Amino acid sequence: MKESYLYKKLENRNVQCQTCAHHCIIAPKKKGNCGVRKNINGKLYAINYGKAVALNVDPIEKKPFFHFLPGTLSVSFATAGCNFRCANCQNWQISQGPKISKDFDGWGEEISPEEIVKTTKDNKYPSIAYTYTEPTIFLEYALDTMKLAKKENIKNAWVTNGFMSAETLKLIAPYLDAANVDLKSFDNSFYQKYCGGQVEPVLENLKAIKKLGIWLEVTTLIVPTLSDDLKMLEKIARFICRELGSETPWHISAFSGLISWKLQHLPDTPVEKIHQAYDIGKKAGLKYVYAGNVPGNTAENTYCPKCGEMMIKRIGYQIERFDKKGKCGKCGEGLDII
């Protein structure tokens, strides 16, 4: 447990959290929307600090990052909790557990930031990924780890819903090397009903991350009947191209009801819909569009945006590179690879 880095003290020992865009006002003995920030005697504490519910070594492509350290492994960890309540969540047991459980007081194994960084350094992994749940809700744990990692020349990558506060982004920006942000829809009503949030803060943070020079990739899960409208997908593609740059990769993922929290009744995303979204992204002017969770597809390969030659071949998490230090091996065009 650690006192929150970002909050205001209010009257009657109430506090206002400033960690994410909810800006929860929390009464004594109560918790915020995330379920892991608690008002104890007029002070706000992150009760999940240092308690990892997951710690693994993953391919960086699993996050997914396709242009950030491609073909490498990343130490990946998370705590319990999330500031969203996405109906499609596949990690809902750990993300929503603190809200479901009445006796939650910080699940997880005690693993210090120093231990995470030491493991990463000793095994010569190039990066640490803050993932599985929402890193914003374990800001203190993440930031302390990021600072130590930076000193060891280890890269930091967030996989996030993008609903952090401006104050949180300002805190992490000097230490954050890459972010993959879920842009779940362009429809605010979808965010309100199925995620428990709003789209505007996500859009603003996407633009801010790009302006800060942090490498950015965007992921959109296409959920049948809920977030599969082609006109809405066109809006996302145009937003990415116009506001974030044509070099920003867009990952389009297929939905599976079997592993979702509350949407088991919905069918899997038709392959044809994924292909349509892929075409929309390319027509909008995006250089790199990737289709995920589609069996036997080649749309996860990286092709040169100039000559069309395949430069990174991906079969699952098996990566084969044909580029020359981030440039096309055939025509020399830059591939926007970190």
What does the domain layout of the chain look like in residue ranges? 2-46, 51-299, 301-338
Note the pLDDT of residue 294.
81
**pLDDT tens, the chain, 338 aa long:** 999 999 999 999 999 999 999 999 999 999 999 999 999 999 999 999 999 999 999 999 999 999 999 999 999 999 999 999 999 999 999 999 999 887 777 789 999 999 999 999 999 999 999 999 999 999 999 999 999 999 999 999 999 999 999 999 999 999 999 999 999 999 999 999 999 999 999 999 999 999 999 999 999 999 999 999 999 999 999 999 999 999 999 999 999 988 889 999 999 999 999 999 999 999 999 999 999 878 766 789 999 999 999 999 999 899 999 999 999 999 999 999 99
- Residues in a beta bridge with 3: 45
Strands (E), 47-101: 51-52, 54-59, 73-78
Looking from the CA of 12 toward its CB, the CA atoms found within 13 Å total 5
3-state secondary structure (DSSP) of residue 260: coil
Contact (Cβ atoms closer than 8 angstroms) between residue 318 and residue 60 = no
Task: Find, among 260, 242, 252, 188, the residue nearest to 220 by Cα.
Answer: 252
Token reading at 109: 């194994």
Note the pLDDT of residue 102.
75
Note the pLDDT of residue 101.
83
Note the pLDDT of residue 296.
67
Contact (Cβ atoms closer than 8 angstroms) between residue 228 and residue 221 = no
State the CB neighbour count (10 A cutoff) for residue 141: 26
Q: Backbone dihedral region of 162: left (phi > 0), alpha (psi from -120 to 50 degrees) or beta?
A: left
Q: How far apart are CA 138 and CA 116, in angstroms?
A: 15
Sole residue written with tokens 């009947």: 225
Q: For 51-299, which CATH class?
A: alpha beta
Token reading at 221: 């899960």
